[in-house]
C-alpha cells in the first residue's frame, strides 16, 4: 500500500472518529425536555449536567500534554471512543437522575480524550484545511443525532432512551474501526507538517511565543465560544417549545439546521482553507454568527439558525490550526489541551448560568446572552492577533 493511500485511509478513520464525537452533542438538546419529565427534574437541572460533564471534560483535556508523554494520542482517542459508547449506553438505561449523572461524568472524560487528542494530532500533522474538514465531520454527527432523537421521541414505539442506545451502537462500530487502524500502524504514516512561521522571524518571535498573556487570551477565547455554541445547541429547543410555542417536530429541526450549517461552514473552509488565512476565517465566522443571533431577537425564522451555524463552523478549527503560527510548535499539544479545557469550562459556567436565567427570569435571554459571548470571543481574537503581529514585525 502506498504512503498516500495510507494517509487517505487514516484521514477517513480520523474523520469518522469526529463524526462519532458529534453524536452526544446533537442529541441532548432534543432529548432533554422528555428526559426531565420522565426523571422528574426541572428545566434548569440541565445546568448541573453541563457542570459535571464540563468538569470531567476539562480534567482530561487539560492533562493531554502530560498524558501524551506516556500514551500516544491515537491510543488516548480510541480509549475515549469506547468510553463514549459506555456513557451513551448508560444514558439509555439510567433509572434516575443520580445514575444519569454518573454516566455524564464518564461521557465528559471520554469526549475530552477524543476531542483533545484528535485535534492535537491533526494540528501537528496536517493543514488548516484538514482541520476544518475534521470538524466538518463532527458537524455531520451533531446534525444527524438530533434527527435520530427527534424520530425516536415522536414515535409510538421508541423513546429518548432508544435514541441514545442507537447512538451508542454507532460509536462502538467507529471505535472498533479506529482500533484496527492503530493495530495496522496507520497513525505512524503521517509526518509533522511544516510550521507557518518563517525561519527569518522565528528567532525574533521566540520571546513572545512564550508569553503567558498571549496564551491566556487564546485559551479564554475558547471559554466564551464554548458557552456560545453549547448554549445555543442545548437550550434552543426548550426556548422554541416552551417560550415560542413550537411543536417538537418543528423545533427538532433547528439543532439539525444549526449543526448541518456548521458542517457546511467547515466543509467550505476545508475546501478553500489554503487560500484563506485562519484568522480571517475566524473573523468571518464571528461576524456571520452575530448577524444570525441578532435576527433571533426579532423572528424565529430558521434562516437565522443557519447563519449562526455556518458562522460558528470555522471558528474552532481555525483557532486550533492557527496555534502553530501564533505559538511555539512544541507547545501545540499542551495549548490545544488547555483550549478544550477552557471550552469545557465555558459550557460548565456560561451554559449553566444561562440555564438559571432561562428557568428563573426569561427563556428569551438566550439569544442576547449568546451574542455577548460571541462578540467577546471575537474581540479576544483581535487583540491577540494585534499583539502577535506587532511583536513579529517589531
Q: Which of 224, 163, 150 is nearest to 384 (CA)?
A: 224
Exposure string over 207-234, b if 16+ CB within 10 A, otherwise e: ebbeeeebbebbbbbbbbbbbbbbbbbb
DSSP state of 350: I
Q: What is the CA radius of gyration of the chain?
A: 20
Cβ atoms of 127 and 108 within 8 Å: the answer is no
State residue 358's pLDDT score. 84
Residue with cell 439509555: 92
Distance CA 21, CA 114 (A): 7
Exposure string over 275-298, b if 16+ CB within 10 A, otherwise e: ebbbbebbbbbbebbbebbebbee
Residue with cell 508523554: 69
Distance CA 41, CA 96 (A): 10
3-state secondary structure of 381: helix
Q: Which of 190, 67, 122, 77 is nearest to 332 (CA)?
A: 122
CATH number at residue 346: 1.20.1250.20
Label residue 349 exposed, middle or buried (CB < 10 Å: 0-12, 13-18, 19+).
Answer: middle
Label residue 382 exposed, middle or buried (CB < 10 Å: 0-12, 13-18, 19+).
Answer: middle
- Which residues have a Cβ under 8 Å from the Cβ of 26 and sit 6 or more positions away? 141, 142, 143, 144, 145, 146, 149, 233, 255, 256, 259
State residue 72's pLDDT score. 87
Which H/E stretch holds residue 228? helix 212-242
State residue 76's pLDDT score. 92
State residue 255's pLDDT score. 82
Q: Which of 191, 158, 224, 200 is nearest to 383 (CA)?
A: 224
Total residues found in the chain within this entry: 394
pLDDT in tens, 226-246: 999 988 887 888 889 888 888
Distance CA 121, CA 106 (A): 23
Beta-carbon count within 10 A of 361 CB:
9
Distance CA 335, CA 124 (A): 12
Cβ atoms of 131 and 317 within 8 Å: the answer is yes
State residue 189's pLDDT score. 75
State residue 393's pLDDT score. 46
State residue 247's pLDDT score. 83
State residue 211's pLDDT score. 66
Cβ atoms of 218 and 339 within 8 Å: the answer is yes
pLDDT < 70 stretches in the chain: 1, 190-211, 273-274, 324, 328-330, 389-394
pLDDT in tens, 12-51: 999 999 999 989 987 887 888 888 888 888 877 877 887 8
Task: Tell me how many domains the chain contains.
Answer: 1
- Which residues have a Cβ under 8 Å from the Cβ of 173 and sit 6 or more positions away? none
Distance CA 229, CA 144 (A): 17
Domain range holding 162? 3-190+198-392
Name the grid cell of 43: 428545566
Q: Which of 113, 119, 147, 112 is nearest to 133 (CA)?
A: 119
Q: Taking the model in full, what pTM does it have?
A: 0.76
Rounded to 5 degrees, what are φ and ψ at 34? -85, -35
Spacing of C-alpha 42 from chain mean position: 26
Amino acid at each position: 500500500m502506498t504512503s498516500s493511500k495510507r494517509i487517505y485511509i487514516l484521514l477517513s478513520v480520523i474523520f469518522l472518529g469526529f463524526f462519532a464525537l458529534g453524536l452526544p452533542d446533537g442529541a441532548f438538546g432534543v432529548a432533554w425536555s422528555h428526559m426531565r419529565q420522565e426523571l422528574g427534574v426541572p428545566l434548569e437541572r440541565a445546568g448541573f449536567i453541563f457542570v459535571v460533564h464540563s468538569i470531567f471534560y476539562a480534567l482530561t483535556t487539560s492533562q493531554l500534554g502530560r498524558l501524551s508523554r506516556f500514551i500516544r494520542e491515537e491510543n488516548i482517542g480510541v480509549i475515549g471512543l469506547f468510553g463514549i459508547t459506555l456513557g451513551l449506553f448508560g444514558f439509555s438505561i439510567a433509572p434516575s437522575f443520580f445514575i444519569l449523572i454518573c454516566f455524564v461524568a464518564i461521557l465528559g472524560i471520554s469526549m475530552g480524550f477524543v476531542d483533545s487528542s484528535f485535534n492535537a494530532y491533526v494540528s501537528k500533522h496536517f493543514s488548516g484545511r484538514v482541520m476544518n474538514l475534521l470538524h466538518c465531520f463532527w458537524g455531520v454527527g451533531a446534525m444527524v443525532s438530533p434527527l435520530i432523537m427527534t424520530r425516536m421521541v415522536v414515535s409510538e414505539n421508541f423513546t429518548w432512551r432508544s435514541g441514545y442506545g442507537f447512538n451508542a451502537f454507532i460509536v462502538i462500530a467507529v471505535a472498533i474501526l479506529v482500533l484496527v487502524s492503530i493495530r495496522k500502524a496507520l497513525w505512524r504514516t503521517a509526518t509533522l507538517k511544516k510550521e507557518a512561521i518563517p525561519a527569518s522571524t522565528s528567532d525574533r518571535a521566540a520571546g513572545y511565543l512564550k508569553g503567558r498573556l498571549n496564551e491566556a487570551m487564546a485559551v479564554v477565547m475558547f471559554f466564551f465560544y464554548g458557552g456560545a455554541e453549547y448554549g445555543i445547541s442545548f437550550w434552543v429547543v426548550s426556548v422554541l417549545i416552551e417560550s415560542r410555542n413550537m411543536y417538537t417536530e418543528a423545533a427538532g429541526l433547528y439543532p439539525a439546521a444549526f449543526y448541518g450549517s456548521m458542517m457546511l461552514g467547515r466543509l467550505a473552509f476545508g475546501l478553500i482553507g489554503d487560500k484563506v488565512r485562519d484568522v480571517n476565517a475566524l473573523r468571518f465566522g464571528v461576524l456571520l454568527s452575530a448577524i444570525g443571533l441578532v435576527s433571533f431577537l426579532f423572528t424565529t425564522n430558521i434562516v437565522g439558525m443557519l447563519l449562526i451555524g455556518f458562522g460558528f463552523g470555522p471558528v474552532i478549527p481555525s483557532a486550533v490550526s492557527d496555534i502553530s503560527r501564533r505559538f511555539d510548535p512544541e507547545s501545540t499539544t499542551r495549548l490545544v489541551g488547555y483550549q478544550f479545557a477552557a471550552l469545557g469550562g465555558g459550557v460548565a459556567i456560561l451554559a449553566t448560568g444561562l440555564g438559571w436565567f432561562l428557568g428563573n427570569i426569561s427563556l428569551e435571554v438566550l439569544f442576547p446572552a449568546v451574542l455577548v459571548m460571541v462578540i467577546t470571543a471575537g474581540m479576544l481574537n483581535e487583540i491577540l492577533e494585534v499583539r502577535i503581529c506587532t511583536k513579529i514585525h517589531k
